[in-house]
Structures are given as structure tokens and as C-alpha cells.
Structure 1
């Protein structure tokens, strides 16, 4: 989002004083970037939520999204909705640029099915990018949704590795604020996974598609994207999940996104 020379000046500083001055500049820029990132992510969540209730993948477009942040925003949406996600912004000459993220569905296979409307695409199974003409946005979104519907999540036999066993009372907003210090997340720095054990599930809140949702209190909810038919029989459950904040229609809630569940 800024000239990289400030970072170079910091590394090549001739004195501690010069390094400190440059560091302060970099710190201000980073704070500005994080504020923009938070605001854009909140906007993206509002755009993504209706799609998540009806489709198996997300294509979120906003002209004002900064090209340098769309990859991070896409990762945040994957963390929250656990669906293949493409965040799109406006490029030049009528071309839209995007950043794509996925956790358990091969992105390149999805994009290959949309190749007819793409100008170019590339990357790997979990992170990719593509570009297409602005006039093809809705057609691309339709093709991507269809590709996601037909795709089967990868079954590589891996077990979910939980970082910490907790109880629901520990999952407060203070913890969420502290978790932000661990960002940004990616392949080399995955989002923390928590586990709660021996808890009953309240009545399921209906959602469209194959998704499941439960209310856990006034401002806490748990979602299981594509979870229909995947909850084992039982009265109490062990649940592995990631934790995030969901800002939707002006209401902030703590959201647990299920990664694995057993009885």
C-alpha cells in the first residue's frame, strides 16, 4: 500500500536514531493498513453472508477494495465461512482482478471450469489469482458457484490439530482482541484451532443450503458450513473450531466455525 523504500531505509539506517524515525513511519503506515483491512473485511462479510447461505463458494466484488489487501480479505472470509472464496476489485481497462483462497477444495480445478470467461489465472490449490472482464462478473460468479457445488472437499485423511482445549466461558471479546496479535494468518501461520469437549448442542437454527447454525447465547453462535448430514448421533460432542467476530447488519457476535465434530 506504500513505497517499499521506507522498509529499505529502516534496514540500511546509519544510526539507531535514524532507524527509530523510520520505524515510526512504518508503524503509522501499518496501523493505517490495518484500519483499512478491518473496514474492508467488514464490508466483505456483509456481501458474503447472503451468498454463504445459498452457495458452496463466494465471489465478493467491491470496486473500492485495495488490490494489496484482497488476499488477506479472502483469507478472512475463508476463516469465517469455510468456503472457497474469491475477492474481486477493479483493475484497469475494464479488467477485474481477484485473489482466491480455499481450505479444502482445489482452487485451480475450480478456476479451470471457469476458464472460458477468464483472461488469465494461476496459483495453487489453496491460493490463486485470476482476472476477467468487468462485463463477465455475473457470468463468472455463476460458473464459480456451479463449480463449487460440484466439487467434493479434499479427503486427505488429515486430522484437525487443536491448539488448546477451552470452555465456552473463555471465548470472550478480550480473547478475540488478543488473537488479532497473531495475524496475518496463512499457510505458514494458520489460525488457532480450539476444542471444547462434552457439550450438548441446542436446537439447530435453519439455514439455506447444506449449512448448520446454533445459538450459544446472546452474542455467540456456532456455524458448520456444509455440515448437513455430517453431525454424528449423540447427546454430547467434542468440537474443534476457529473463533472470529461476525459483524452483520450492525450486530457483532462471536462466531465459532466448526472444523471437526465427534460424539
Structure 2
């Protein structure tokens, strides 16, 4: 599929030149900083040298005083406390962090993860009933609860207090809990708004430790869990998240908790874990527990007190991940065949596929894969509890949630945001929904939105990639939303020697430009270009720059994202 290459343009060249001089760096690198909102020497220092001293005071968050006081009272009065969290990576790491910290201090503690299929997302009536049955009087909810108005009221009727730690956007009404920690509240002046759910759990234990003279090391030991949540929940890696991610990766690569160490060993990658490695290796394994079976298995792994317990729990979770992959691959193949065998579906500007036997736990993953393949708004549906339930994914620039609003008369429930959503409908509404969704998308999507975009920092010459340039470039990490791994464009490059096909249609080659040095390249999925690049004709490339390690030898490698021939 052809992709558009879009190069960033920087208007403020005066700031770029000034920053280049002050930092003694290439203007290309200075332009990248300005594109990230970094315009002064001090801002650059904070960016390149993250410091734990720059973490914000947790008591700046609305409700933190009340939250800490209520936990202190619970401990003093020997109350039973329940740590409650969502079933995804952010929720399970949140629970593991908060439970582990308080369990070291206090024995009357337990945790609860709702069943994805029985209870659904967020705080459930069943969870509150569980708490009441076990004599629990305080629930600390993490990564959920900001819209649970009725559930908090239900808990109060049973004599149970709530502390809510959520990072999702609140509704018009805030639950009447003892404390509601959410930086996105309109009345919250906390300086950073983009914490993950586990990041909020970290701020809670940071505040509690500060108030109770607990050494900082007792809090920082959980930064490996925080970085796993930041990476997996795809929150911006800016500001406070950048600091937490930076030090979290250090902890993950040097002294991870038993559970994460087991997952690292199962991944087969020995060291130098990055945000990308977490997203593709650790996150899916943790998520698999809740997708296929019970997310409590993930918490059990992450709080494991010994290597043996962690290895046992990790073995089970790895099996669940293998099951998840099998479901994922089979359903994706079936869905692709549905589209390929239907000329009408291939011509549409949206994709809606349904099969009553598909596993609900993986349809979101399948929707993402179909979106990558056909690059158009996509919904994958299956049968669930007498209804049809689905996951939806969108393309850059297209508001999926607004499209679903236009079809709301045919839906029982739907929710989500611009690029991802969930929905349910009555089975008899499916044909009308498919028709109306395609009608809405066709009327509101542009041709540009239907072509995948590669966003590039700048067009550069290969000779610009010097050892100093690459050394500084590496310091832009950790990469993630709002600080993505930089993509560059270089034009009129030539293949040096002959390229070859490796693996599943991957192109391996070396390139040079004019009098530049030769760079080794890997272009995943670009084997179809082999014949053209071997003709000796010039071509353009867009790519990221990475370090390749082979038998302890390190070299710069270009990871090709796109090729354009003349």
C-alpha cells in the first residue's frame, strides 16, 4: 500500500539557530527539539537529563490529602482494604504496585480484578458485593472509576468508602468518593495531565511515603511497573512521564521485580529493553491473562515474592499468550478472506466484519491488523451474551466516535474516543448498521485520510549521520507518543553492492549517497523492491536510525520505512 511522506516544517528558524549554538549541536537536532516544544537551554537540559528531583509534589493533586488521610485512618483502625483495578496492563500494574507497597506495611489487604466477560470494564456491582462479603470498608480503585457515580453510591449504602485514582476524562459529574485523583479534572491544578493509571498509583504511594517518613527507595523500587504501564497504555512520553519512563527503564534493565524478570526471560531478549520492546513483548503477555482467562493471573505474576512463584505464573501467562496469538492469527485470516472474497467489501471506505464464534478478547487486535492492511475505519464484531459486540479502530485524522454517534439509533451501547471504540447492538440491527456506517464514513472521510502517512522530521543527507549526531539522537529516547522515534528522508541514494531477501519478504541492503559512507539497511516487508534497487538506479528512502548489535559489534543501521523509486 502506497504511503504519503509528510515532512515537518519549522517556521521558527531563529530559535532553531539559537538553540543549535547554545547546545553545540547540529541544526537538524535543534529543529527536532523545537518541534517537540523545547526552545530554551533549560528546557533542553530537562529533556536530555531527566531528574527524579523534577517530579511534581503529589499533594498538588486535588484530593491527595484526603486520600492519604483516609488510608492512614484505615490502617490505624485495622480496616480491611481492597485494591481494585482494570484488567489491562495499566490496571494490573497499578494494582500490583499499590498492593505491593501497602502489603509491606499492613496485612489486611487484598486485590480484585473484574472479569472482562462477566463484569465488563470498570467498577462492578459484583466487585462491591465481594468487598461487602469480605468485610472490606475501603476500596482504592485504579485506572477506572471516574464515571462510576452509581457504583460509588451503591458502595456507600454498604458502608464502603472509595478512593478513585483514574486518568480518563471525567464526565460532567464527579463520583462522591472520599477522594477522586484525576489530573484531568477541571478543578485539579496538578501540573501534568497525562499520567497513566499506574502513574497515579505511584503518586499515591509517593504522597503516603512522604507523609509517613518512608524512605524514597521504597517507592522508586516500583518504577519498572510504572514504565510498563506508560508504554502499554500509549500515554505521551513527555514531562513527568518522560522522567518516570527514563528511570523505569533503568530499573527494568538492571533489577526488575520477579514477575517482570520472568517475562523478560520468556521474551528471549537479554537486555536493553526499550519502550518498543515493552509494547510488543511484555505488554501483550500481561494483557493475554485478561483476554483469554483471568487478569488476576497477571497481578499474581507481578507481585510474586520469589523467582519460583514468578516463573510458575509466567509459564501460565505465556501459555495464555500463545492461545491469544492463535486466536488472533486465525481470526485475522478469516476476516481477510471475507474481504478478499467480497468485491463489494473491497470497494468500501469502511470495513465491518462479523462472525459469531470469534473470541471477544482478541477482536480489538484483529481490528488493528485489518486497519493496517486496508487503512480505513474498521469494526470487528462477534456474538456476546445474546448481543453483537465489537471493537472499532480508525485511521489518522478520522473521528470514529463521531461516526458511531451518527449510528447510535442502531446501537445498544458504545464508547471510546477518536481512534478506538467498543460497541454492542441487537443482532437484528447488524445489516442496517453495516449500511449506515459505510454511508457515514463515505460522506465524512477524505481521500488523504485513506492513505497511510509516514511523518518525517526532515530530509537529510546521509553524510549528516555522524557518530556525534547519532550519540545525541539516542538521548532523545525514551520514544513514544509526542516523542516518536525520529524518521528521516534521504533522496537519490544508491544500493551499494546487491540487496537480498531475508526472512518473510524483508529487504537487506547497503546504501550510499554521493560521497557519504555506506550504511547497512533492513526494510521489513519491502522485498518487492529488490529488482529495482539492484538496477543501480537512484531512489528515495525514509527511515529511522538505530544501533545494530551483532556478536558484540555495534554499528549504525537504517531501518527503512518506505522506498520510492524514480
User: C-alpha deviations, 1:72-105, integer Å up to 9, x for none?
Assistant: 0000000000010000011123x21110001132
Is the CA contact (8 Å cut-off) linking 2:390 and 2:422 kept in structure 1? yes
Is the CA contact (8 Å cut-off) linking 2:506 and 2:525 kept in structure 1? no
Segments of 5+ residues of structure 1 without an aligned counterpart are 177-192, 197-215, 218-235, 242-257
**Residue 139 in structure 1 maps to residue 432 in structure 2:** yes
Structure 2 counterpart SS, 1:68: helix
Q: Distance in 2 between matches of 1:137 and 1:87?
A: 12
Cα 1:14–1:239 change in 2 (3 A) is closer
Aligned counterpart for 1:97 among listed residues 385, 389, 393: 389
Shift of residue 145, structure 1, vs aligned partner: 1.1
Q: Which residue of 2 aligns with 1:221?
A: none
Q: Which residue of 2 aligns with 1:108?
A: 401
Q: Which residue of 2 aligns with 1:27?
A: 318
Aligned counterpart for 1:173 among listed residues 504, 508, 525: 504
Q: Distance in 2 between matches of 1:140 and 1:78?
A: 19
Is the CA contact (8 Å cut-off) linking 1:164 and 1:195 kept in structure 2? no
Cα 1:259–1:87 change in 2 (3 A) is farther
Paired residues in the alignment total 195
Aligned counterpart for 2:335 among listed residues 44, 47, 61: 44
Q: Distance in 2 between matches of 1:92 and 1:72?
A: 21
Shift of residue 5, structure 1, vs aligned partner: 2.2
Q: Which residue of 2 aligns with 1:9?
A: 300
Is the CA contact (8 Å cut-off) linking 1:58 and 1:83 kept in structure 2? yes
Q: Distance in 2 between matches of 1:120 and 1:137?
A: 14
Is the CA contact (8 Å cut-off) linking 1:61 and 1:89 kept in structure 2? yes
Is the CA contact (8 Å cut-off) linking 2:488 and 2:542 kept in structure 1? no
Is the CA contact (8 Å cut-off) linking 1:108 and 1:125 kept in structure 2? yes
| Bigger Rg over Cα | 2
Structure 2 counterpart SS, 1:26: helix
Shift of residue 128, structure 1, vs aligned partner: 0.9
Structure 1 counterpart SS, 2:356: coil
TM-score of the superposition, structure 1-length normalised? 0.62
Is the CA contact (8 Å cut-off) linking 1:83 and 1:103 kept in structure 2? yes
Cα 1:173–1:163 change in 2 (3 A) is farther
Q: Which residue of 2 aligns with 1:63?
A: 356
Q: Which residue of 1 aligns with 2:165?
A: none
> Which of the pair has the greater relative contact order for Cα pairs under 8 Å at 6+ separation?
1
Q: Distance in 2 between matches of 1:239 and 1:152?
A: 29
Cα 1:26–1:240 change in 2 (3 A) is same
Q: Distance in 1 between matches of 2:542 and 2:327?
A: 30
Segments of 5+ residues of structure 2 without an aligned counterpart are 1-291, 457-486, 508-522, 530-537, 544-560
* Structure with the higher fraction of residues in strand conformation: 1
Shift of residue 259, structure 1, vs aligned partner: 8.7
Q: Distance in 2 between matches of 1:260 and 1:102?
A: 25
Q: Which residue of 1 aligns with 2:346?
A: 53
**Residue 122 in structure 1 maps to residue 453 in structure 2:** no
Q: Distance in 2 between matches of 1:46 and 1:6?
A: 34
Greater mean alpha carbon deviation, residues 28-37 or residues 79-88: 28-37
Is the CA contact (8 Å cut-off) linking 1:66 and 1:89 kept in structure 2? yes
Cα 1:46–1:70 change in 2 (3 A) is same
Is the CA contact (8 Å cut-off) linking 2:504 and 2:525 kept in structure 1? no
Q: Which residue of 1 aligns with 2:455?
A: 160
Is the CA contact (8 Å cut-off) linking 2:392 and 2:422 kept in structure 1? yes
Cα 1:39–1:110 change in 2 (3 A) is same
Structure 2 counterpart SS, 1:73: helix
| RMSD between superposed Cα atoms in Å | 3.8
Cα 1:86–1:120 change in 2 (3 A) is same
Q: Distance in 1 between matches of 2:370 and 2:299?
A: 32
Shift of residue 12, structure 1, vs aligned partner: 2.4
User: C-alpha deviations, 1:42-63, integer Å up to 9, x for none?
Assistant: 1111123335422100110011
Q: Distance in 2 between matches of 1:48 and 1:99?
A: 17
Shift of residue 152, structure 1, vs aligned partner: 2.4
1:68-87 pair list within 5 angstroms: 68-87=361-380
Q: Distance in 1 between matches of 2:564 and 2:404?
A: 30
Q: Which residue of 1 aligns with 2:55?
A: none
Is the CA contact (8 Å cut-off) linking 2:413 and 2:424 kept in structure 1? yes
Q: Distance in 2 between matches of 1:154 and 1:44?
A: 24
Is the CA contact (8 Å cut-off) linking 1:13 and 1:19 kept in structure 2? yes
